[in-house]
Amino acid sequence: MRKGTVKTKSGGMLIVMMLVLLFSAGAVRIEDRSSDAQLKTGAGLIVIDVLKKTGPLERPPVMFFHSRHTEALAKINRDCSVCHGADEKGRLSPKFKRAADTDRQTVTDIYHVNCIACHRELAETQKSGPLTCGDCHREDPAAASTWTALTFDKSLHYRHVKANEEKCESCHHEFDKKTQQLVYAKGKEGACVYCHQENPADEKTLALKQAAHFQCIGCHRDRMADNQLAGPDSCVGCHDADYQAGIKVLDTVPRLERGQPDVVLIHPDEKTIQQTTPGEARPSTMNPVPFDHLSHETANASCKVCHHASLESCTSCHTRHRFAVSEARRPEACDSCHLGPDHPQIEIYEESKHGTLYKAFRDEFNFDAAPGTWSPGTDYRAPTCAVCHMSGSGKVMGTHDVTERISWETQAPLTVRPADFKPFPADNDWQVEREKMKNVCRSCHGDSWINDFYQGFDKAVEEYNEVYFKPAKATLDELYAKNLLDKAKFFDEHLELQFYELWHHEGRRARMGTMMMAPDYAWWHGFYECKSRFNEFMEEAEHLISTGQKAYIYPNYPNATGDTTKPEKIFGKP
């Protein structure tokens, strides 16, 4: 559980408050945080740094020891509600004194006013927390979190099944789009993470951390209030390794029935199987493989070991093919999607020096090297798509998350950092990811070359954003605001098409061509065409604005969208 951050901002009221607290009559006992090293570690250590997302911090983030606070409150018969209020559904909010983060100053005041007031009150009868800025906002190298993720295995799951009298609906639900309600669908139960991901695609779906804290802690507290056997309601109770080790593992757990087979035959594809060398194919001669599903259930602690996205069969996502790493390492594996006027990555790659070397020497590449051993200079002379975006290289671990190693989201209308790409925000730090990509580059290039390349790429991004996209977007918004363009449909007016192709076609090609070092796409198919499209767009737009004339609407434009509402599943509720 990670709470928000405090950034100290001086102001008259706060200064007066601090002076009053420091110099008011009476002895104030302040706890010496450095006296007990044991209290500096634990699963309950929370770094309060939520204000980082609103700008740089003026002081170090606060090291907040949650367990120390709950123990202090328990001594005076107070509970979680002192710090955590309830949301509109009555659920205990994991955030301090608020249901959600608002503006920077409001969140700052929530911490300053409430923390200092509580510390001062408790200081009258017992040791209390700090009252000065420097005592809270300070670097503490000795502070270290021992937070450990809780593995909700089949043993722990069955304990919950028995505690809830086999009422699966107590925890399992799915969203019914027709009724817009959460409903229980018997036979469709799945792991929480299948829907509640770390970065859910829409605002209605809670992130896994929020869902777990709302549902699990809320249920545990309700059972405690009814004097029933209950699970923990503290950080340590779930996320301390020693506490986890003390959770009894049941010797026998009944099978979770979902209509799964005991044994199944895995058949090869009935069609021909493509060989490593393009153009060669052979009929499948592989015999069916008997798969003992029941023994795999027994041997593993959780179904998620195999079923990482859902409890459906493997073939609902994975096609029957060779699963050969040699196929995935070839750029041809990517070209069925990454091509065309709006994202011509394969064409750009083929024009680049990397692509030229691949075409010239691919027969010498060792695509069959074992995973983790595929090395530049030894197994390949130039990188393919997989080398830069997925394969391990030197210090960089292999990954299936292609948002890694990316420092700009060049598919977006306005180029942003991957974490700021609203439709599909990446859960990473672009600077960390850029360093990963630089380490891939270092397999062949020196730092001076790499840094010079990124400097040029950043300048290209800045030119696209500031010279082309932002002025065009501001002009488009002005046309809509003055009712010179009609919002009822999109693509049925010439300027809407012009604006769309400015960023979706030429703008992408300019940025992607620069990033992948293909000069023809960076200039002639990119920025050159950006200039042409931008000039035409601005000339027509300025004419409409100066004359007050509304744009012509194509009366029979085929398949012009009738609804401009963004899909809630991707963008969340407006």
CATH of residue 110's domain is: 3.90.10.10
Taking the C-alpha atoms of residue 209 and residue 51, their distance in angstroms, rounded to an integer, is: 19
DSSP 522: H
Same domain for 457 and 533: yes
97-to-92, 117, 342, 505 alpha-carbon distances in Å? 10, 13, 47, 47
Report pTM.
0.49
At 506 the pLDDT is: 97
The reply to whether 464 and 548 lie within a common domain is yes
Is the separation of the CB atoms in 108 and 133 below 8 Å? no
Between the alpha carbon of residue 23 and those of residues 19, 28, 115, 131, the distances in Å are 6, 10, 18, 11
Nearest to 537 by CA among 482, 490, 476, 491: 476
Question: Are residues 20 and 141 located together in one domain of the fold?
Answer: yes
**135 plus 17 within the same structural domain:** yes
SS3 163: helix
- The series of mean pLDDT values per 10 residues for the chain, 574 residues long, is 36 34 31 44 85 87 88 86 82 84 91 91 85 87 84 89 88 84 86 79 77 87 88 87 86 85 69 43 55 85 78 60 72 87 95 96 91 87 93 83 91 95 86 94 94 97 97 97 90 93 97 96 96 97 96 82 61 62
Q: At what angle do helices 470-481 and 528-547 cross, to 10 degrees?
A: 30
Instruction: List Cβ neighbours of 457 (8 Å cut-off, separation of 6 or more).
Output: 408, 514, 515
Distance from C-alpha of 119 to C-alpha of 19, rounded to nearest angstrom: 15
pLDDT on residue 569: 57
Domain range for 334 is 325-386
Does 106 lie in the same domain as 128?
Answer: yes
Q: Are residues 226 and 269 in the same domain?
A: no
Say whether both 461 and 550 belong to one domain.
yes
pLDDT given at position 476: 97
Structure tokens at 383: 């990188």
In a domain, 127, yes or no: yes
Q: What is the DSSP letter of 183?
A: E
Q: Give the number of other Cβ atoms within 10 Å of residue 142's Cβ.
A: 12
Distance from C-alpha of 209 to C-alpha of 149, rounded to nearest angstrom: 11
Domain assignment present for residue 254? The answer is no
Residue 384: per-residue pLDDT: 95
Query: Do 463 and 516 reside in the same domain of the chain?
Result: yes
Distance CA 183, CA 172 (A): 9
Query: Do the domain assignments include residue 68?
Result: yes
Count of domains observed in the chain: 5
Residue 462 within a domain: yes
Phi-psi region of 77 (alpha: psi -120 to 50; beta: other; left: phi over 0): left
Question: Across-strand partners of 393?
Answer: 396
343 and 299 together in one domain = no
Instruction: Compute φ and ψ for 500, nearest 5 degrees.
Output: -60, -45
Of 279, 299, 316, the residue that ends a domain is: 316
- Is 537 among the domain residues? yes
Does residue 349 share a domain with residue 271? no
Nearest to 64 by CA among 46, 91, 84, 83: 46
Please say whether the beta carbons of 518 and 348 come within 8 A.
yes
Domain assignment present for residue 406? The answer is no
pLDDT digits (tens, 9 = 90+) for 521-563: 999 999 999 999 999 999 999 999 999 999 999 888 776 655 6
Give domain status of residue 539, yes or no: yes
Residues 195, 310: contact at Cβ < 8 Å?
A: no
Q: Where are the alpha helices (DSSP H) in 300-420?
A: 325-328, 345-351, 353-361, 385-389
Tell which of 369, 386, 403 closes a domain.
Answer: 386
How many CB atoms lie under 10 A from the CB of residue 127?
11
| Full 3-state SS string of 48-106 | ECHHHHHCCCCCCCEEEEHHHHHHHHHHCCCCHHHCCCECCCCCECCCCCCCCCCCHHH
- Among 489, 488, 469, 480, smallest CA distance to 545 is for 480
Verify that 182 and 139 share a domain, yes or no.
Answer: no
Does 551 fall in a domain?
yes
- Of 386, 409, 431, the position where a domain reaches its end is 386
Distance of CA 430 to the CA centre of its chain: 12
* 31 and 56 both lie in a single domain: yes
369 neighbors 328 (Cβ within 8 angstroms): no
Residue ranges with strand state E in 509-557: none
**What does the pLDDT read at residue 16?**
34
DSSP 401-442: -TTTT--SBTTSSS-B-GGG-TTS--SS-HHHHHHHHHHHHT
